A and B are shown apart, each in its own frame.
Chain A
Amino acid sequence: MINGILWVLGCQLVGEVLVRSLDISIPGPVVGMVLLFGVLSLRRPGSESGTLRFSDGLLRHLQLFFVPVSVGIMVHASEIGQQWLPIAGGLVFSWAAGLVTVALLASWLTRRRGAEAEVRG
């Protein structure tokens, strides 16, 4: 388990150092995620690996870790009240636009690939 914690924290640390020294705007933990993905692809650990068990444990209670940030809403309550229209409009419209774009493009591309395979087959 200690090894698992070291791998996860180590990937984040390297990620944080990389984004700062290269001055890129991607969050450090996201770079850490890419690094850990690379490590897992190379080492292919078994299901008993500490890294997998530690990560699964963190992810089972992922919502716990954004409770403190969410409590910060109390500081912004009046802002939300004043700007409810752009908030609600932006959220609903961009959510639907993103979902529709992915759904239509992906179904067109998979259907096209399916049709090509039939012609070749």
Chain B
Amino acid sequence: MAETLDFLRDSPLTWVFVTLAAYRAGLWVRGRTHGHPLAQPVLVAAALIIALLAVLGIDYDTYMTGGGLIHLVLGPATVALAVPLHRQAHHLREMALPLVVALPAGALVSIGSAVLTVRALGGGDALQNTIAPKAATTPVAIAIAEGIGGVPALVAAFTMLAGMLGAVFGPWLLDRLGVQDRRVRGLAMGSASHGVGTSRSLHDSVVEGAFAGLAMGLTALLTSVLVPVVVALL
């Protein structure tokens, strides 16, 4: 019996299975809540796995023998983001000037204000570097944080929170600003709240969703170029 338990704890298969099952449960919760922005499958899955590991007394490194196999696919999935960007490429010319000016300005403000606010409220360097890339889509933000000494586990959480802020409060804030142009609303949602904001935009209007997807892809690129520079300067 003890041998069987040892096998279960040490086999990567167990943790791959647990991760898939927890994610499946997350999809179920999202379905039951009709896609509520707070019901993100990754959050439900992570909460379930953390609870299971705590109950069984398993540490994170043991979990990662299997979790690492799923984590490996994050790289190719990031590369695959080129496909939706390719599908939106015909919008590039239509909105060339706003794209070239507004998106880099937005990325700069987002990174700079994140670093400065965290510093002003007493957060350390590691926290500043972790929060700086949070406007980029999660896989890219994780890769950026890994590169500049941030904490990848926390950047995943911060990025999801930035996405949820957008999905829940983004349209309200854009109404307050009096922005009615669907293309502009999409750009703002995708640049501040990546994929989670994009799915809300898509729900509101197809045009808004397309521009949100485009802004998400370009902001991911801009953020990975700008974060190391801004962090070094500030």
Contact = CB atoms under 8 A, between A and B. Distances in A.
B2 interface: no
A87 B123 contact: yes
A70 B147 contact: no
Majority SS at the chain B contact face: helix
A114 to B, nearest CB: 9
A106 interface: yes
Contacts of B71: 65-66, 68-69
A94 B177 contact: no
Contacts of B135: 94-95, 98
A8 interface: yes
B228 to A, nearest CB: 4
21 contacts: A27-B78, A29-B143, A33-B79, A40-B86, A56-B83, A59-B84, A62-B77, A62-B195, A65-B73, A66-B138, A74-B54, A76-B154, A85-B122, A89-B117, A89-B121, A91-B131, A95-B162, A96-B173, A96-B192, A102-B106, A102-B192
Complex A-B, nearest 8 residue pairs according to Cβ-Cβ distance, in ascending order = A72-B153, A98-B110, A86-B123, A27-B143, A68-B67, A55-B80, A94-B114, A102-B106
Interface of B: 19-20, 22-23, 26, 40-43, 45-46, 49-50, 53-54, 60, 63-64, 67-68, 70-71, 73-86, 89, 95, 97-98, 101-103, 105-107, 109-111, 113-115, 117-119, 121-124, 127, 131, 134-135, 138-140, 142-144, 146-148, 151-154, 156-158, 160-162, 165-166, 170, 173-174, 177, 179, 181, 183-185, 187-189, 191-193, 195, 215, 217, 220-221, 224-225, 228
